Structure 1
Amino acid sequence: MAQQLAGKVAYVTGAASGIGKAIADLYAQEGAKVVIADLKQEAANAAAQDIESKGGTAMGVAVDVTQEAQVDASVEAAARAFGGIDILVSNAGIQIVKPVQDFSLGEWQKMLAIQLDGAFLTTRACIKHMYAQGRGGSIIYTGSVHSKEASRLKAPYVTAKHGLEGLAKVVAKEGGPQGVRANVICPGYVRTPLVDKQIPEQARELGISEEEVIKNVMLKETVDGEFTTLDDVARVALFFAAFPTNALTGQSMVVSHGWFMQ
């Protein structure tokens, strides 16, 4: 069976662990040359070496997605090394959980900078290559069910994830004539370090046990009481990246075991 991303170059942020790494691994299996962009060079290199050890092609780059110069430089280095950029997965993100009145402005700004400034900066850097190459491209944002829905204690996160949908729609309209698509993946709760960290935090803030957080907060509305898996999300990212036409652009796809249905 032919590899779905053969000959493509994918730049994936937050790709040294969690959802980003799962996407990068699957893309490499499907023939893409993968750029592992992460905050720490050592972690990025380790993830790239893991791909190479399995017969794939990858490189690690250190980048803080909130820093314009770092983003631009890392995308240029990747494009030089691999001959362009065909796919961007803007995935880097963090979480801070507390009531809105307890957030400092600095925490609010940090959350929005990583999620939204990072998405803008990587989009701007990558889309220039997609346009210049003349072979189209796919831009994928890691949103969340929180791109659609709100939860207590997550004001900046919910705000940022909603914002990604707006950005994707604009990029889809602007990029469409040149074959560049933009879409959003909206996962439910995935057992990543980001989510594991939230469990005791939410238990403390809500005054309930960690088991109750999992059962009655995180998984209550799913159809089967199951967490969304890394593989679930990676498969949707592959679907978006490999889709051959502009028919699928400006859209968001929820992958949440039925937690949110649209």
Structure 2
Amino acid sequence: MDLGISGKVAFIAGGSKGIARSVSSLLAADGCKVAIVARDRTAIDRAVKEVTAEGGTAMGVSADLSTQEGVNSAVAEVTEEWGSPDICLSQITALGPEHWGAFSDVPVPSYANTFDLAVLTHIRLAHAVVPEMRRKGWGRFVHLGTLSAAEAATYFPSMIHNTVQPAMMGFLKSMSDELAREGITFNSVAPGWVNTEMLHGFFGNLGIEPDGIEPWVLENQNVPIGRLARPVEVASMIAYLCSDLAGYCTGNHIPVDGSMHRSNC
């Protein structure tokens, strides 16, 4: 399928691994110039080499996107090479065990810290890329988020996540309303349990080896489809939302979760 985005510049946060890595390949295959932005230079270089070997056009940018300086530097580097980003995938910042806990375990400062990582990170990136999207009259901003933004998680003590994550939905919906008539869309994709390096790291912190992850999920979670997702299954939804074909799709929080999400809307 021709997504109508050949020649567009795509800024892929976290694009060296996992779901975002798969997005990098899909957009490059459709003719986008893909900027793979992450911290790990080795992983970035490997991803760029792979995308290039597949016939795509890619560059790598090493940056800490949790800071305004890192965001500005990364966007400036991409803009200098190819022009300003037309497409931006803003991936949720990886949060460790220190960001989980029940009400009695979470000190008040932890809420502010997590809000900065899980919400302000994406707002900073939007401030860096949206002005030029507005000038061009076209843009796609996709947030790779979490189910707990719309439906409180219960599988671990998740007080801080269930409190902080919904703020992103308010931001994205407000942005979609404000920019809808300017050709710029804002959407969020919420994966379920996806077989990625991040998932392996998360369960590794709990003492669960990779071959035990899927059995744990299927035993402890309601996953009607009965398996973990492949990264490309989530990435394909993101690629569509980045396309010209998705111009009427904005302000949405879309679960790609094997029917885990229990809401009807």
Normalized against structure 1, the TM-score is what?
0.87
Aligned residue number for residue 182 of structure 1: 186
- 1:96 to 1:250, Cα distance in 2 relative to 1, 3 A: same
Q: 2: CA distance between counterparts of 1:14 and 1:24?
A: 10
Q: 1: CA distance between counterparts of 2:166 and 2:251?
A: 14
CA contact (8 A) 2:229 2:257 kept: yes
Shift of 1:157: 3.2
Q: Say which of 122, 139, 142 aligns to 1:140.
A: 142
Unaligned runs of 5+ in 1: none
Unaligned runs of 5+ in 2: none
- 1:188 to 1:69, Cα distance in 2 relative to 1, 3 A: same
Q: Say which of 83, 99, 107 aligns to 2:101.
A: 99
Shift of 1:212: 6.1
Q: Say which of 160, 166, 172 aligns to 1:168.
A: 172
Aligned residue number for residue 227 of structure 2: 226
| Partner SS for 1:64 | coil
Q: 2: CA distance between counterparts of 1:79 and 1:189?
A: 34
Aligned residue number for residue 14 of structure 1: 14
Shift of 1:211: 6.8
Shift of 1:194: 2.3
- 1:143 to 1:92, Cα distance in 2 relative to 1, 3 A: closer
Shift of 1:111: 3.3
Shift of 1:187: 0.8
Shift of 1:83: 2.1
Shift of 1:168: 0.9
Aligned residue number for residue 237 of structure 2: 236
Structure 2 counterparts to residues 75-224 of structure 1, below 5 A: 75-97=75-97, 98-100=100-102, 101-103=104-106, 108-134=111-137, 136-149=138-151, 150-151=153-154, 152-199=156-203, 201=205, 213-217=216-220, 220-224=221-225
Q: Percent identity?
A: 22
CA contact (8 A) 2:5 2:244 kept: no
Shift of 1:242: 0.8
Aligned length: 255
| Alignment-mate amino acid for residue 190 of structure 1 | V
| Partner SS for 2:61 | strand
- 1:102 to 1:53, Cα distance in 2 relative to 1, 3 A: same
CA contact (8 A) 1:84 1:133 kept: no
CA contact (8 A) 1:116 1:163 kept: yes
C-alpha RMSD of matched pairs (Å): 2.3
Shift of 1:158: 3.5
Q: 2: CA distance between counterparts of 1:162 and 1:8?
A: 30
Normalized against structure 2, the TM-score is what?
0.86
CA contact (8 A) 1:199 1:213 kept: no
CA contact (8 A) 2:40 2:62 kept: yes
| Partner SS for 1:89 | strand
